[in-house]
Amino acid sequence: MEEIVFLERDSLDAELRRPAFAHSWREHTGIPGPEETARLLEPATIAIVNKTPLRAATLARLPRLRMIAVAATGTDNVDIAACRGRGIVVSNVRGYAEHTVPEHAFCLILALRRSLLAYREDVKRGRWQQAERFCLSGHPIRDLHGATLGIFGEGSIGQGVARLGRAFGMEVLFADHAPPKAPDVKFTPADEVLARSDVISLHLPLTPQTRNLIGAPELARMKPGALLINTARGGLVDERALAHALRAGTLAGAGFDVLSVEPPRDGNPLLELDMPNFILTPHVAWSGKQAMQALADQLMDNVESFVRGAPRNVVS
């Protein structure tokens, strides 16, 4: 009988069906520390986690563990090499956020391109009420139609952002990168994407190769009027370099749903920004109601497929 332990059950606000095979089920809330993680997962043959770190030292204490079902697309919290060495199958959830994350990205893009926060603050302070004519100007408003959207990452979410961009009449560029690559995508050199785009949107996993993908040199290549949007992983961007660029005015704005450390702690330079051209949301782009249910359903599909002997969405 399979022993299933679900850590961070509170991270998934959706109905979760129980597997259609003999099993025991334990679930816990919160993200435990390494010692507590090892203790809670000690009986598990199948572990379900979201962001709980599962490093080599922890995995070595879990001899019964056969599968890790990640309740997310990103697997940077799991030591994939250690899992491979121990014969542990790791599966993730794919495609569930192909609508909800692009929609959130465009919420950020539209708010920033039209100076929404700045105009809202003007109304709160009574500036419109004191104006001499019917409208109050003073902050830039830029249409998306005719602008260029540069996308790093051409998976289902990147493709979803591209579809919305084209619907707004934007030219869409995908930045070239090392394989694997999606089929039938026309790529543009990354430096050219940085230089030509009015909006850069990031949709890549966090790996050693993509960490700090956007740093001071990349920010310097972007247009002074450009926006940087990150709804993927905080570690893709050098946060101090971004804060400096925004304060210096060399970048028009940025919209982030992620930070390098979550939940954020004191000292993150982006937390210190109080500017109408910077929007930070608390890692919620993925959590649309329909998307959460699709995630929950696919998560259990992964578990059931593994037990049937036909693992799916395998990343190790």
The CATH classification number of 100-280 equals 3.40.50.720
pTM for the whole structure:
0.88
Look at residue 293 and tell me whether its pLDDT is greater than 90: yes
**Are the CB atoms for 140 and 311 separated by under 8 Å?**
no
Q: Is the dihedral of CA 230, 234, 236, 241 positive or negative?
A: positive
Per the annotation, the verdict on 233 as an active-site residue is: yes
pLDDT of residue 184: 86
Q: pLDDT per residue over 251-268, tens digit each?
A: 999 999 999 999 897 789
Q: Choose, from 8, 104, 233, 239, the residue flagged as catalytic.
A: 233
Q: Which CATH superfamily is domain 2-96+290-307 in?
A: NAD(P)-binding Rossmann-like Domain (3.40.50.720)
What's the pLDDT band for 316 if we cut at 50, 70, 90? low
**Beta strands per DSSP E along 51-104:** 67-70, 89-91
Is 283 one of the annotated active-site residues of the chain?
A: yes
Q: Is 103 a catalytic residue?
A: no
- CB of 60 closer than 8 Å to CB of 81: no
Catalytic member of 27, 36, 192, 262: 262
Query: Start-end ranges of CATH 3.40.50.720 in the chain?
Result: 2-96+290-307, 100-280
* Catalytic hit among 283, 304, 308, 312: 283
Each residue of 204-233: pLDDT tens digit? Answer: 999 999 999 999 999 999 999 999 999 999
pLDDT band for 180, please (50, 70, 90 cuts): confident
Q: Which of 164, 162, 163 is nearest to 173 (CA)?
A: 162
